[in-house]
Structure 1
Amino acid sequence: MRIVIAPDSFKESLSSKEVINTISNAFISEISDLTIIEVPMADGGEGTAETLIEATGGYFVEKDVLDPLGRKTKARYGITGDGKRCIIEMASCCGLSLLKPEERNPSITTTFGLGELIRDGLTKGVREFIIGIGGSATNDAGGGMLQALGFGLKDKEGKEVGFGGYELERVESIDFTKIDNNLKDARFLIACDVDNPMVGENGASYVYGPQKGADIQMVEKLDKALVKFSKVIKKVTGMDVSNIPGTGAAGGIGAAFLSFLNAKLMPGFEIVSEFHHLEEKIKESDLVITGEGKTDHQTKFGKVVSGVSKIAKRHNKPVICISGSYTEDATILYDYGITAIFSCIHQPDNLENIMKNARKNLNLTALNVAKMIKFLSKKGEEPPEYL
């Protein structure tokens, strides 16, 4: 029997690799004729870099960069084991988590730190980048990132503008003369799970500005600045990015990646699944096991469990979901290809104990699932006929 184990991490308790090891050990203890294909997954958000670097035997690089408010902070990025790809989580240098609630202010926050990480990767010879852009504290359309990479954002007097969303309204021209030469050979895949345009009522400022600290007056001014910057982009590149789906992601940084760095925007799950050749592995399997910390109706929106199950459904493979917990509305996932869902919570308990005992509880659930499959196999039928 060939089993693909492709879970997300159990947030704040187990990495995807630890989830795989726990499930794998439980199955090996019960089923002798077994081939396990391990595929640690992520959806492009928090934990994506760790998942991909661990899976490839890569390593992390730590660097001093500017945080969203222009203060020095330590951030890290990963380089895959073959040395060819750089994995960056934008939140590590430009994230909301780096700011106190009272410090949130997208009129002044910058993406400069992300540009510093990219530039450092370029100096190490890396030319392929995978960047997760979730959790940002910024609304500068990647202006700070561009500045760090050598793009000159000039005002009407030819002077460099400052940091933050408001400063975009002052940009009149873009100077390309000091761009990092290594960029010409670089390729970027951007994990983008939203389709918001750059500007307008469904754009970066109106939809995501409030959670980054913007009131309605600030939102209006930020959107006006993005409109102005989009016109400058069109003037210098010929590309109208103002209403392209995804350009409103992470405070408009999708627009900068598309127009200046020739990037490709893709859902995070698709990037990670292609990285691992997940579909090919599922196609050759007999059974797929996935899971996450909590499975509910939101899981269907681009999360690992729904992505894995959709691929499995295309190839008529049964899928067992083993999650920390699941809600009643998670049963909608049966329509997406999930065969059965199992919870790791076996008795009432507080969250602290549940998190502390995550590995033990996961092992117990996986063991029970393995015993069930073993029993069904002994009945003379392959598990897929029963599940």
Structure 2
Amino acid sequence: MPSTSPTSPAFHVVVAPDKFKGSLTAGEVAQVVAENFVEGFSAGYHRTRLDAGAESVGMTVAWTVLPVADGGEGTVEAALRSAGFRAVATRVPGPTGESVEATFARDGDVALVEMAQASGLDRLPGGTPAPLTATTRGTGALIRSALDFGAREIVLAVGGSATTDGGAGILTALGARLLDAAGHDLPDGGAALLDLERIDLSGLDPRVRSVTWTLAADVDNPLLGERGAAAVFGPQKGASPADVDLLDRALTRFADVLAAQTGQDARAVPGAGAAGGVGFLALGLLGATRRPGIEVVLDLANWRERTRDADLVITGEGSFDEQSLGGKTPVGVAAAAARIPAPVVVLSGRRTLEEAAWRAAGFADARALTDVEPDPRVCLRDAHRLLAGLARDLGAEHGARAATGR
């Protein structure tokens, strides 16, 4: 749905949601919400005017649709739908080496590479985890493709990865060689890094040195230790306690060898543990600047200009919970909306936060599909219908307020 911007809108609603994972993409959520909010607003406005015995004059409603994401799955879609980027599809190795089709987004000499496209959990064959052997080579291949298209600035969005290889696969895809004591190339995956003896950077694509890098990542974990990539995120990728210990030792070896050869050591830098240690490679060898994913997406979408006269902002995600408060899409949108300023409503599939928590986070209202349908299976199956009803009801309430001048 395109944005609509009449010359003198009386009410401007901005719809900027993330996906409802498992049911609706961010673009689908935005379309359902915008259409049904406007329908409900008009009905509520006219009904309230008529009930009050007043003339039911028309009221213009404008909407701006900005599907967004926080750096994980769906970030490329957000750039295509909201920021005018173009899609470039290519075939790359998936996290276990199989060929997959992945897409990055480009606008002039700026490229957005979404790690989940190539090396994400959703790319695992049959959904079977591979904590010790999953590789980021596919992400490296996407980066190489972006360079081939003339990228001078690369935004690397790293949420949703299936890997814990410290970005070693990215290095090999860009021409480096990771060698064992016998001079043999290491196999894929984080566990293999235990046998790392030397990194040959002579074949590294020279273009990586001239590119401006942004790491779109919300986490501030270091590479190693109890808050490191393996300990905190490894279990989410199928790692057992023994696997976590092995991977942490392997990442330590990788960091030691890279530091000895390059003099660069980002293992303790906040964000180094992002995406199984890809943050370590990006913040160190590549010289990236880390920014929250939602901030990057909002900037690419020219949020400030497109929302300056907003009367209401609606955001959303599948699960509105404690993790949301750590910098995910709704909180990022609320922070941006506070500068307009405009009230923010979050619509979600489910909500586990208490009202005091979401109000303290800057939200004027929070509604979930589970408010009207307690069965989560029905919510997944009928998300479109249920979300449409929530949006119509919300629109009707705001239309009624507009009719009474409140």
What TM-score comes out, normalization by structure 2 length? 0.83
Shift of 1:296: 3.0
The answer to whether residue 75 in structure 2 is matched with residue 77 in structure 1 is: no
The answer to whether residue 329 in structure 2 is matched with residue 304 in structure 1 is: yes
**Which one of the candidate residues 335, 340, 343 is aligned to 2:365?**
340
Compared with structure 1, are the counterparts of its residues 148 and 47 closer, same or farther at alpha carbon in structure 2 (3 Å cutoff)?
same
Cα distance in 2, alignment partners of residues 166 and 362 from structure 1: 44
The answer to whether residue 222 in structure 2 is matched with residue 212 in structure 1 is: no
- In the alignment, structure 1 segments of 5+ residues that lack a partner are 382-387
**Which one of the candidate residues 10, 22, 35 is aligned to 1:12?**
22
Compared with structure 1, are the counterparts of its residues 63 and 326 closer, same or farther at alpha carbon in structure 2 (3 Å cutoff)?
same
The answer to whether residue 137 in structure 2 is matched with residue 127 in structure 1 is: no
Shift of 1:119: 0.9
Compared with structure 1, are the counterparts of its residues 302 and 380 closer, same or farther at alpha carbon in structure 2 (3 Å cutoff)?
same
Measured against aligned partners, the alpha-carbon deviations of 1:308-328 in whole angstroms (never above 9, x if no partner) come to 222333444212223334346
Say if 1:23 and 1:363, in contact at 8 Å, map to a contact too: yes
Compared with structure 1, are the counterparts of its residues 362 and 215 closer, same or farther at alpha carbon in structure 2 (3 Å cutoff)?
closer
Paired AA for residue 332 in structure 1: A
Measured against aligned partners, the alpha-carbon deviations of 1:224-257 in whole angstroms (never above 9, x if no partner) come to 2222221222223322212111111122111111
Greater shift in the superposed pair: 116-125 or 151-160:
151-160
Shift of 1:77: 1.5
Paired AA for residue 74 in structure 1: V
Say if 1:104 and 1:213, in contact at 8 Å, map to a contact too: yes
Say if 1:53 and 1:78, in contact at 8 Å, map to a contact too: no
Compared with structure 1, are the counterparts of its residues 211 and 299 closer, same or farther at alpha carbon in structure 2 (3 Å cutoff)?
closer
SS at match of 1:179: coil
Cα distance in 2, alignment partners of residues 180 and 328 from structure 1: 47
Say if 1:42 and 1:269, in contact at 8 Å, map to a contact too: yes
SS at match of 2:239: coil
Paired AA for residue 79 in structure 2: L
What TM-score comes out, normalization by structure 1 length? 0.87
Paired AA for residue 53 in structure 1: L
Compared with structure 1, are the counterparts of its residues 380 and 94 closer, same or farther at alpha carbon in structure 2 (3 Å cutoff)?
closer
Say if 2:78 and 2:297, in contact at 8 Å, map to a contact too: no
1:215-226 map, 5 Å: 215-226=240-251
Shift of 1:338: 0.8
Shift of 1:198: 0.9
Shift of 1:149: 0.1
RMSD: 2.6
SS at match of 2:231: helix
The answer to whether residue 62 in structure 2 is matched with residue 35 in structure 1 is: yes
Q: Give the structure 2 partner of residue 52 of structure 1.
A: 79
Paired AA for residue 40 in structure 1: P
Shift of 1:13: 2.3
Say if 2:222 and 2:273, in contact at 8 Å, map to a contact too: yes
Q: Give the structure 2 partner of residue 385 of structure 1.
A: none
Greater shift in the superposed pair: 210-219 or 140-149:
210-219
Shift of 1:346: 6.6
Shift of 1:331: 4.4
Overall identity of the aligned pairs, in %:
36
SS at match of 2:354: helix
Cα distance in 1, alignment partners of residues 207 and 353 from structure 2: 51
Compared with structure 1, are the counterparts of its residues 343 and 250 closer, same or farther at alpha carbon in structure 2 (3 Å cutoff)?
closer
Cα distance in 2, alignment partners of residues 230 and 19 from structure 1: 42
- In the alignment, structure 2 segments of 5+ residues that lack a partner are 1-10, 43-58
The answer to whether residue 13 in structure 2 is matched with residue 3 in structure 1 is: yes
SS at match of 1:324: strand
Say if 1:77 and 1:86, in contact at 8 Å, map to a contact too: no
Paired AA for residue 193 in structure 1: D
**Which one of the candidate residues 283, 286, 309 is aligned to 1:284?**
309
SS at match of 1:53: helix
Say if 1:346 and 1:361, in contact at 8 Å, map to a contact too: no
Shift of 1:83: 4.1
Greater shift in the superposed pair: 96-105 or 265-274:
96-105
Q: Give the structure 2 partner of residue 115 of structure 1.
A: 140
Compared with structure 1, are the counterparts of its residues 349 and 246 closer, same or farther at alpha carbon in structure 2 (3 Å cutoff)?
closer
Q: Give the structure 2 partner of residue 318 of structure 1.
A: 343
Paired AA for residue 21 in structure 2: K
Say if 2:83 and 2:300, in contact at 8 Å, map to a contact too: no
SS at match of 1:293: strand
Paired AA for residue 319 in structure 2: K
The answer to whether residue 148 in structure 2 is matched with residue 138 in structure 1 is: no
Q: Give the structure 1 partner of residue 226 of structure 2.
A: 201
Q: Give the structure 2 partner of residue 164 of structure 1.
A: 189
Say if 1:205 and 1:222, in contact at 8 Å, map to a contact too: yes
Compared with structure 1, are the counterparts of its residues 141 and 327 closer, same or farther at alpha carbon in structure 2 (3 Å cutoff)?
closer
Cα distance in 1, alignment partners of residues 95 and 345 from structure 2: 41
Q: Give the structure 1 partner of residue 175 of structure 2.
A: 150
Shift of 1:280: 4.7
Paired AA for residue 169 in structure 1: L
Compared with structure 1, are the counterparts of its residues 175 and 298 closer, same or farther at alpha carbon in structure 2 (3 Å cutoff)?
closer
Higher relative contact order (CA closer than 8 Å, sequence separation 6+): 2
